[in-house]
């Protein structure tokens, strides 16, 4: 049975940090049967936990009737000093295989296929005329590599990201909260761009090493990617930050809320009888409440996350091969 506008809206809103704006999204759902949404990824390494949050949200949007576009932003990766051309080219091919293995029905756009057109570059220049250097720097604070020594190429990056939204004919731009400042440049310069869009932001998962740390595969123990083996995932999760009864900035709970629960109708936490036996949860809220009360041990929670993350990652690894 087809979902109502409100049902579609609630599915899209689930596990989001903000929608700019909710009223615009409701109007879009009322007036357009299959709107277009995208998320862009720098192909500089394998898909990891942070990517899984937006991939999961794209799955929600697909259920809500959206046409999905995934941009493999090869030129952005180059501008952001994430690798040399040949290395990035190889990663683009790896990402194509990974997306296919995930099974999401999507149009895959490659930045270098359309970003060198005359009209595209003129749009970037128009935005550049209306943007201050300070604004460009602020927009890149969360995503630039070595932002203290930012290059001019990294100031060009946010303008291109905004122009991507126009040239891919998108109604909604999806990204983690670190993309917010870039999306706001695009919304505020709607007239210059001659294109409007809705911004949809998902939360960021805390580093597995704990608050204040950066989640990066280059930092051992801080994250997990689809290339990790079951043993590697077990080891990383076992050493992850997960204080007893602590809800705030707990990455293990965040993984359950943002990645696992949206994919599984029921979560089973296996425990020995002497520790109370198995627990079953049909929603995240009840699990969080149980954990906050101290009736669920961090180790049991970690074992559960390892099992279910592997259920998500293993099929991708199999299909990828």
CATH architecture label of 230-320: Orthogonal Bundle (1.10)
Alpha carbon of 253 to those of 48, 58, 259, 300: distances in Å? 17, 21, 10, 12
| In the chain, % of residues over pLDDT 70 | 95
Domain range list for the chain: 5-202, 230-320
201-244: pLDDT as tens digits? 999 999 999 998 767 766 777 789 998 999 999 999 999 999 99
41 or 150, which is more confident: 41
282-320: pLDDT as tens digits? 999 999 999 999 999 999 999 999 999 999 999 888 776
What CATH topology corresponds to 5-202? Answer: Rossmann fold (3.40.50)
Nearest to 228 by CA among 299, 314, 302, 308: 314
Model confidence, pTM = 0.92
DSSP tag of 274: G
Cβ atoms of 221 and 239 closer than 8 Å? yes
> Is the backbone of residue 15 left (phi > 0), alpha (psi -120 to 50) or beta?
left
118-133: pLDDT as tens digits? 999 999 999 999 888 8
Q: Rounded mean pLDDT of 139-144?
A: 66
pLDDT band at residue 270 using 50, 70 and 90 as cut-offs: very high
Q: Rounded mean pLDDT of 151-166?
A: 89
How many other CB atoms are there within 10 angstroms of residue 294's CB atom? 9
Structure tokens at 125: 């220049």
25-66: pLDDT as tens digits? 999 999 999 999 999 999 998 888 889 999 999 999 999 999
């Amino acid at each position: 049975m087809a979902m109502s506008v409100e049902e579609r809206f609630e599915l899209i809103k689930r596990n989001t940090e903000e929608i700019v704006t909710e009223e615009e999204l409701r109007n879009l759902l009322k007036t357009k049967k299959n709107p277009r949404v995208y998320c862009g990824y720098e192909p500089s390494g394998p898909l990891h936990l942070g990517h899984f949050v937006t991939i999961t949200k794209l799955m929600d949007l697909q259920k809500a009737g959206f046409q999905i576009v995934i941009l493999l932003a090869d030129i952005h990766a180059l501008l952001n000093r994430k690798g040399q051309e040949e290395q990035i080219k190889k990663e683009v091919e790896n990402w194509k295989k990974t997306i296919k293995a995930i099974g999401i029905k999507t149009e895959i756009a490659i930045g270098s296929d359309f970003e060198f057109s005359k009209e595209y570059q003129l749009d970037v220049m128009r935005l550049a005329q209306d943007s201050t250097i300070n604004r460009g720097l602020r927009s890149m604070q969360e995503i630039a590599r070595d932002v203290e020594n930012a290059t001019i190429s990294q100031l060009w990056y946010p303008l291109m990201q905004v122009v991507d939204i126009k040239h891919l004919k998108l109604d909604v731009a999806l990204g983690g909260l670190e993309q917010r400042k870039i999306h706001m440049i695009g919304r505020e310069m709607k007239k210059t761009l001659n294109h409007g869009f809705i911004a949809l932001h998902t939360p960021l998962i805390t580093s597995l090493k704990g608050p204040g740390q950066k989640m990066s595969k280059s930092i051992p123990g801080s994250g997990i990617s689809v290339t990790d083996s079951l043993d590697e995932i077990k080891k990383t999760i076992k050493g992850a930050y997960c204080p007893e009864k602590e809800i705030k900035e707990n990455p293990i709970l965040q993984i359950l809320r943002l990645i696992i629960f949206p994919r599984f109708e029921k979560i089973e936490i296996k425990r020995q009888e002497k520790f109370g036996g198995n627990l079953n949860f049909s929603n995240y809220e009840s699990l969080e409440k149980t954990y906050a009360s101290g009736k669920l041990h961090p180790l049991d929670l970690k074992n559960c996350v390892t099992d279910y993350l592997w259920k998500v990652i293993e099929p991708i690894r199999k299909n990828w091969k």
